[in-house]
Amino acid sequence: MENGDLLFSWSGSIGVYIWTRGKAVLNQHIFKVVPRENVDKLFLYYTLQVAIEALKQRTHGSTMKHFKRSELKRTYVSLPPLEEQKKIVEILRTIDEAKHQKKEKLECMKKAVMEKLFTGEVRVR
């Protein structure tokens, strides 16, 4: 697998991921998902996130949660026309970017507050 590949983990850390750590090899608990023609990869990524949440309710195993292939085969996702998929992705990416920017700002604020608290610049009573 390579950067940008869409991965589906069905056991352990159940989820869908976009790989960002360079060339690597898959193991038996992770599938590389290759979208069909007229399916936007990022639309599939977001759609699978929703589908996986439902699948997590039907996991098996006590120490290493997983779901059976039959559960996966019974899971269907809606595929609107490609142009609509792209518009949906645009909306969701905008939200993800805003969330990321807010998280970065909060981290900066936290560091600044910690520095003031731990250096004694600000006293708490």
**What's the pLDDT band for 110 if we cut at 50, 70, 90?**
very high
The residue with tokens 């360079």 is: 22
DSSP string, 68-123: -HHHHHT-------HHHHHHHHHHHHHHHHHHHHHHHHHHHHHHHHHHHHHTTSS-
User: Are the C-beta atoms of residues 18 and 5 closer than 8 Å to each other?
Assistant: yes
The residue with tokens 């996991």 is: 59
Residue 104, pLDDT score: 94
Residue 122, pLDDT score: 86
Instruction: Give 30's strand partners.
Output: 9
**What's the pLDDT band for 109 if we cut at 50, 70, 90?**
very high
**What's the pLDDT band for 100 if we cut at 50, 70, 90?**
very high
Return d(Cα 108, Cα 29) in angstroms, integer: 37
**38-93: pLDDT as tens digits:** 999 999 999 988 888 777 776 666 666 767 667 777 777 889 999 999 999 999 99
**24-33: pLDDT as tens digits:** 888 777 888 8
Residue 115, pLDDT score: 93
User: Are the C-beta atoms of residues 42 and 88 closer than 8 Å to each other?
Assistant: no
**What's the pLDDT band for 95 if we cut at 50, 70, 90?**
very high
Global pTM value = 0.73
Identify the CATH number of the domain defined by range 1-79. 3.90.220.20
